[in-house]
Structures are given as C-alpha cells and as structure tokens.
Chain A
C-alpha cells in the first residue's frame, strides 16, 4: 500500500514537474519572441553568441550552487570562489595555463570538501559555514591580488576560448553545456544523483535507506566549489585580468537563476534542465533589456520581478495541481500524502 502511494506520489510530482518545466520553456520562448519583435537585432546570430557568453559564466556557477540546494544546503561562497579561481589561474598561468586552471579547480574542490566536512562532522548549518568561507575567500582574494589588478598579456588565448564556434557558440559556452549534460547524466543515471535528491527530500529517511549523507554532501559542495573556481578561471582567461571583486556578484544571480529554474530552497527538488532554463531566462532577459538600452537598475528590477513571478506562480501551480490530484484520488480512497518538499 505504502509503495503504491509513493509510486503514485512520484508520478504526480514528475508530471507536475514536467508541466512546470514546460511553463519555464514557454516563458523563455515568450521573452525571446517579445525582444525579437521590439529589438530586431535580438535574434541576430552574434547576439545569440553574446547571450550564450552570459550563460557560460552564470551557468557553471548556478549548476554547482543548485546541486547544494537540491541536497537541502546552500553554498554562499560561490561568488568569492569565482574571484579566487580567477586570481589563482592568472597568478599560476606563468607556469602553464593548464596548471593555473588545475590549481584553481583543485582549490575549489578543497574548499568545497572543507565546507562539507564542517557541515557534516561539526553539524553546523551550511549557511553559517559558507558565510565564513565566503568571507575567508574574499580576504584570500584580496591577499592574492595584493592590492593590484592582476593581468596577463595572453590575449590570443582569451580570443581562442571566446572565438565563435558555429557562429553562436564559444569554447566557454560549450564547456558549460557539457557540464550541464554530465550533471544531468549523474542525476538521472547514477546512484549519486538519486542520493542527492533523497538527501534534500527527507534526510532521516534517506539515512535510514542507506544513503551516505556525508559522501553526498561532500560531492555537492566539492562540485559547487570546483564549478565556481572553474568559472572564475575561464572568466579571467577571457578578460586577461583577475581581481578580488571579479564575479563576486554572481552568487545572487546564480541563486535567482536556480530558483527560477525550479530548484527548491527546501531541497529535494530541481533538475539540471530546469536550472539551464532558469539561467537562459535570466540571460535572455538581461540581454534583451541591454539591447534596448535599459539601465542597470531596470535590469535588476526585472530580474527580481521575474524571480518573484515564477516562484509565486510555480508555488501556487504545484500546490494547486497536487491539491486537485489529491482530491481526485481521495474520491477513490487513495489521497496523496503531504510532503515537505513539494
């Protein structure tokens, strides 16, 4: 009976999730159509390239952050990690760019694992732990920069990673799409993916079912750190510059994109494809408004309004659909159980 109920609930959630995802896709298409109508250059291939360049940076950071959110945690340190990743890359690039990128990614992994260790072993809330690591990383970034703008003269590599591929892509955006593909596979095919969702849904039940909570949290925080540092690496190579403040504003944008993409702050809900749509929605909105010459304040305001609109609509939509389904099933004596993560 319980198994039947769970299966029924899972099917219901999946259907609701699919409809919500279609809603996001519709929103993205609507935004693109709207801007295409009033700004003819919006659909120009070079502008799509510009849009995907925004996606390249924000996408990587959001993907990592969303994994921690799906697992019911939050990594506030991703913005500072972008700055540190960029600085490490440029500082070490003299010994070879690969060393620079490698050092940044390993550093991101190490910080992520430390965050997870403190959360799991010392039982400190991730918000508290990552506030600490955010501030520590920010201080470390200023120490690395040593009060200077750290720059490189390797403009050729900068152009190489941003060089248009098939008109609208670049190496950077392809890497980000690749990361989304890998994480989608991980979430859908591997046990680690199922463990992440289970950890974020009902941690006690997950632990009782044999989910390795410590390992799962180490994985999500490690990936979050890696991806933020890697995003910083690629950004610094692209700009031939790194600074202690570069990319620090991406944390809020990434959180917004993840929420727009359907990731629940309470954990247990969220899919990479939704996150990708969330990032695309923000990138398209900002790009379109930019094409119209909107001010920074207008762009920020629109981001906030879209976030509020999507989250409110999504919340009421999901609740409404589940309620309807529940009522329908109640009439047959098989109501859906209440859950904390829907």
Chain B
C-alpha cells in the first residue's frame, strides 16, 4: 500500500515537472532582485490574443524585468481567482485583459486596495470605476465603429450609390462593450455624414463565422437586392457574410463590405476584392501599449490614464499595413 502511494506521488510529481517545463515563467534565477510584471490575459486560442501576448513579451524583452503570465479561457470566475493569486505573489505591476469587463471590477478594486499598480488592456470596464486602475490601453471601439462608417460611406459614393441606401450589420455578442460601442460609432458616423443610409437589420453572430453565415443568410433573404452594403464588427464574421451572399447568388464585389480588426480573413478577402475595407486594430500595438504603460508605472513615471489604439481604414491600396497584425 505504502509503495503504491509512493508510486502515485512520484508519478504525479514527474508529470507536473514535465508539464510545467514549458511554462511561461520568465524569471532570472540569479542576481539581484528584479522588478516583476504579471500579465493576466485571455485565451491562447484566438489569434489576436496570442499576438497581443507576443507583442507584450517582445516589448519587455530588453527591459530587465521578470514577467509572469496567467491565462484563462475567457472564464471570469477563474480570472477572479487568478487575481487573488496574483495579489499573493506581490508583483510590482499587474496588467489585466479582463475576461469580462463587468466581472473584473471587484478584482480591480482588490488589486487597488493591495496597493499594486494596475494596467487594464483591451477591454475597458465602465469608466465610472476608473479610480480602480491606473491606465487603460486598447481599442477605442466607438472610434472603430465611426471609422467603419466613414469607410462604408466612401464605398457607397465610389460605387455610385451616393449617400443613400440600405445596409445591415453583423455584430458581436450582444451586451459586450465592443459590440455596443462599435455599433454606436457606426451609427454615429451614418447619422452625421450620411443619414439616408439606413440600417435595415442587425443580427448578432458572437464573433463566429458560421453564425455570421446563418445571420447574413436570413438578412439577405429578408431584404434581398435592397441591401447595398454590410458592416461586420469583425473580419472573420464578414467572411461568413461573403459565403452567405455567394450562396444566394449575390456577388460580394457589388456590395460595400466593411469589416473590422484586420484579421487574416479580412486581409485575404480585401486582397481578393470580395471585401472593400477593414479598420485596423493591431494586436501588436495593443500588447505594446500595455507593456509601455506597465513600464512607466514600474519606473514611477507619469502614465496616460487612457491610451487608445489608432483606428485607421485599410483598403486594397494599403492592406499591407495589416500584415504585422496577422504575423506576416
């Protein structure tokens, strides 16, 4: 019996040692006490998230600081526990990409009460709680939506539609800040610059290409040839829209299609000519900005409370600007 338990313990220890050998604990084992930054981030499965983390690491590579990374697969409960653990490890700065911009608020307050400087990256919680963090870096989603609106209006004019017609919108998970704010920005642009371009329908597709195909199919069926353009809150969902249009015999090149975030699907579709434009939201800059804010806090330098990513329109003419964002 004792032997069996010993064997079990040994087996588990061996498994854990081998499993953790590739962990992301970038500690320098020797020398003086170095400053330490802890990044609490989200899924490694999404390309954007992965590039964000790579850019963050790269920005810190020559900074003589240690980096600990904790990852959750968009699980707010798990992230709350990670925050508790992070506080116990007493890093010099904590950088958080919230798994849920609402659920993170009590955790931010805990970090603040623990006296650890904090940078929130990518997803901004409600600004009324801004006292709980030192800096936010990431996308300005209202600005993103506004730029998409500008691109769509220009596309309408170039296609000879003037500033009149009907479009539909494929949006992210309802109720999430990017979904709400990108749509708001898009609506603001249309209301201000081309009020006769009407949003005929809006459907959620949860950042999912196949859901976007289904949603766009039903909207194309409902509105048919009245639709002259589509705004998708993410490029991968626009890929679903293009599939839906082709299935219904609609040439996507005759539509004004504007996506978002320069993902590989968007870049490919723009190069191919199926999609008109996208709005650059670079994961490289997103990660880099967060690292830069963390370094400033580490060095007790003044830091901008809010630093947004630029939201530049990219078409076939300047699509190569998106290459770094997709790792090309």
Residues of A within 8 A of B (CB): 19, 22-23, 26-27, 30-31, 34, 38, 41, 44-47, 49-50, 53-54, 57, 145, 147-149, 151, 155, 158-159, 162, 235, 238-241, 243, 246-247, 249, 285, 287-298, 301-302, 305-306, 309-310, 313, 317, 321
Contact = CB atoms under 8 A, between A and B. Distances in A.
A83 to B, nearest CB: 11
A50 B88 CA distance: 8
Interface stretch (B99-107, B140-148, B155-163): B99-107
Nearest to A37: B13
A296 B72 contact: yes
9 contacts: A34-B13, A41-B88, A243-B76, A246-B76, A289-B16, A290-B85, A295-B71, A305-B12, A317-B4
A240 B106 contact: yes
A50 B85 contact: yes
A302 B72 CA distance: 15
B88 A235 contact: no
B266 interface: no
A258 B303 CA distance: 48
Given A148-B174, A239-B106, A30 B9 contact: yes
A49 B84 contact: yes
Contacts of B15: 302, 305-306, 309
Given A44-B88, A309-B15, 20 more contacts: A26-B5, A27-B9, A41-B89, A46-B85, A50-B81, A50-B82, A149-B176, A151-B102, A158-B106, A159-B109, A159-B110, A238-B80, A240-B103, A292-B23, A296-B43, A296-B71, A298-B23, A301-B19, A302-B15, A309-B12
A295 B44 contact: yes
A128 B251 CA distance: 46
Contacts of A155: 105-106, 109
Contacts of A30: 9, 12-13
A317 B204 CA distance: 53
B287 to A, nearest CB: 17
Nearest to B108: A155
User: Which of B12, B100, B176 counts the most chain A CB atoms within 10 A?
Assistant: B12
Nearest to A306: B12
Contacts of A23: 1, 4-5, 8
B89 A47 contact: yes
A240 B102 contact: yes
A296 B73 contact: yes
A292 B5 CA distance: 25
Interface in B85-119: 85, 87-90, 100, 102-103, 105-106, 109-110
B118 to A, nearest CB: 16
Contacts of B16: 31, 34, 285, 288-289, 302
A292 B20 contact: yes
B1 A238 contact: no
B interface residue count range (under 10 / 10 to 19 / 20 to 34 / 35 or more) = 35 or more
B323 to A, nearest CB: 27
For the complex of A and B, the 3 pairs showing the least CB-CB separation, nearest first, are A46-B88, A148-B175, A147-B174
Contacts of A310: 8
A53 B80 contact: yes
A309 to B, nearest CB: 6
B312 interface: no
Contacts of A290: 70, 81-82, 85
Contacts of B72: 296
Contacts of A317: 1, 4
A331 B80 CA distance: 58
A247 B77 contact: yes
B11 interface: yes
B175 A293 contact: no
A298 B71 CA distance: 11
B12 A293 contact: no
B88 A47 contact: yes
A310 to B, nearest CB: 8
Nearest to B70: A290
B301 interface: no
B75 interface: yes
B65 to A, nearest CB: 15
B44 A293 contact: no
B130 to A, nearest CB: 14
B249 interface: no
Contacts of A321: 1
B150 interface: no
Contacts of A313: 4, 8
Nearest to B22: A298
B88 A293 contact: no
B89 A240 contact: no
User: Which of A247, A288, A291 counts the most chain B CB atoms within 10 A?
Assistant: A291
Contacts of A240: 102-103, 105-106
Contact of A289 (B5, B8, B19): B19
A175 B268 CA distance: 54
Contact of B80 (A22, A26, A47, A239): A239
Contacts of A158: 106
Interface string B42-53: 011000000000
A294 B23 CA distance: 5
A145 B80 CA distance: 21
A295 B24 contact: yes
A2 B242 CA distance: 74
Contacts of B84: 46-47, 49-50, 53
A238 B22 contact: no
B306 interface: no
A47 B85 contact: yes
Given A293-B23, A295-B23, A302-B19, A162 B81 contact: no
User: Which of A53, A158, A239, A246 counts the most chain B CB atoms within 10 A?
Assistant: A239
B18 to A, nearest CB: 10
B68 interface: yes
